[in-house]
Chain A
């Protein structure tokens, strides 16, 4: 039996996959505790979980795009969040005495405390943001991020010298994707590409199942809470999506996840709902139109459902590129796609069996990758001491010794 301390971000899409791994660990007889905002965590992980509560820092740059989003992520979220969660992670480690810290890729306080105390730690990548190394050809951006890592390293009182890349554990990197999506990218052996980490979470919303007409194809349109401001205010994505769907009523029924006023007076074949039981609904779908967040992409593909992706920001363009390369969907421009273009992309994905077949291949690769169960196995191996750090990502000499206290 080992103890695992999960250090999370206050984002549903990051907590759900971690929670699925935690469930698997618990089933294997291990113990789990959490560091994060209690208000955000409790509804997702349950009332009985042990939580070392931190303040909540909302990420206000969600609507930013391009490098503006990279700048706001690091300047306004990662660095301050790391600073104010650090004391709580310290306290949790002292009281709970975990064998392994499971650290969200951007919850760097977990990496800092583990390095300082010489504890084993794993990175959990619930986005493709860092994994695909999007800035390999922009050396000054990569250096700018490295500068932020050096800043939090120094702020944590860690010694001068070579600062390890805190985004990637030298012990274990659990990535919620699979090689069917990452294509030509190659990763070291301590990267476990486990596919999506889904759990049988309780349905959180009702759905009028009787409304679904078996004689028509079924499409889900979701651009996520992150993109809603962009969708409704500046670019009217919902309006364009509604216009794209309008003439398809004889053959398509569409569920649009949005506030009711996003599409006023929807036609008979369009259902607008702020929340739906996504995983259950996915079983009935023929295509998903989305912004390309890794969770939605992987939830669709894990059911073999092909995609039309209108990427907006962060890892979404990377995910869209990977889905297109895998043949499991099409990419359109979020801000520019016209209703005609969106309808053409959607009917192509619905009508050409190759997309569904490719989505099925990705689904099979996810199943082979093992999901939350495989992640839990790798974490348990790490806790049992069967995993040595990889020297390619050097840790600072005076913090690497197990049990060393600063």
Chain B
């Protein structure tokens, strides 16, 4: 049921994940990003897997923390955004994309069993 996503990592040339979950997770993520930023559909329509959280979406630290909570609520506690980011170096965090987060969620063992909302 869950295809193993191909993780290119935060500094990869671009997300190239396959599998049924990835598109759905991406859609969920964009919805959550709207929630934490208070932005509208027009803004969301421009968010893609390649959008960088820092440079493109200007996500602030409080918004990232709020996103982490929403991710845990949706996919279970083993999706731990803060722990994921803590493993990244400065270049990886600067380059972190929405697609990287989708890949992290898909790769997390809890995500498939927790059931998507």
Which positions in A face B, CB cutoff 8 Å?
65-68, 70-71, 137-141, 144, 311, 317, 321, 331, 333, 335-336
B80 to chain A, nearest CB (A): 12
Q: Which 8 A-B pairs give the minimum distances between C-beta atoms? A: A66-B54, A140-B89, A335-B58, A67-B93, A144-B90, A67-B94, A68-B94, A67-B90
Residues of A within 8 A of B63 (CB): 333
Is B55 close to A, CB under 8 A?
yes
Q: Is there an interface contact between A68 and B58, defined as CB atoms closer than 8 Å?
A: no
Is B18 close to A, CB under 8 A?
no
B70 to chain A, nearest CB (A): 17
Q: Is there an interface contact between A140 and B58, defined as CB atoms closer than 8 Å?
A: no
**Given contacts A66-B94, A317-B62, A335-B58, are A140 and B39 in contact (CB under 8 A)?**
no
Which positions in B face A, CB cutoff 8 Å?
37-39, 54-55, 58-63, 82, 85-90, 93-94
Residues of B within 8 A of A144 (CB): 89-90
**Given contacts A317-B60, A317-B62, are A140 and B82 in contact (CB under 8 A)?**
no
A272 to chain B, nearest CB (A): 26
* Complexed CA–CA distance, A68 and B38 (Å): 23
Q: Is there an interface contact between A139 and B37, defined as CB atoms closer than 8 Å?
A: no
Pairs across A and B, CB under 8 Å, 14 listed: A66-B94, A67-B54, A68-B54, A137-B82, A138-B86, A140-B86, A140-B88, A141-B90, A144-B89, A144-B90, A311-B60, A321-B62, A333-B37, A336-B37
Q: Is there an interface contact between A71 and B60, defined as CB atoms closer than 8 Å?
A: no
Chain B residue, CB-CB nearest to A140? B89
* Complexed CA–CA distance, A331 and B59 (Å): 15
Cβ contact of B86, chosen from A65, A139, A311, A317, cutoff 8 A: A139
A248 to chain B, nearest CB (A): 22
Q: Is there an interface contact between A68 and B55, defined as CB atoms closer than 8 Å?
A: yes
Q: A140-B86, A141-B90 are in contact. List 9 more A-B contacts (CB 8 A).
A: A66-B54, A66-B55, A66-B93, A138-B86, A138-B93, A140-B89, A317-B62, A333-B38, A333-B63
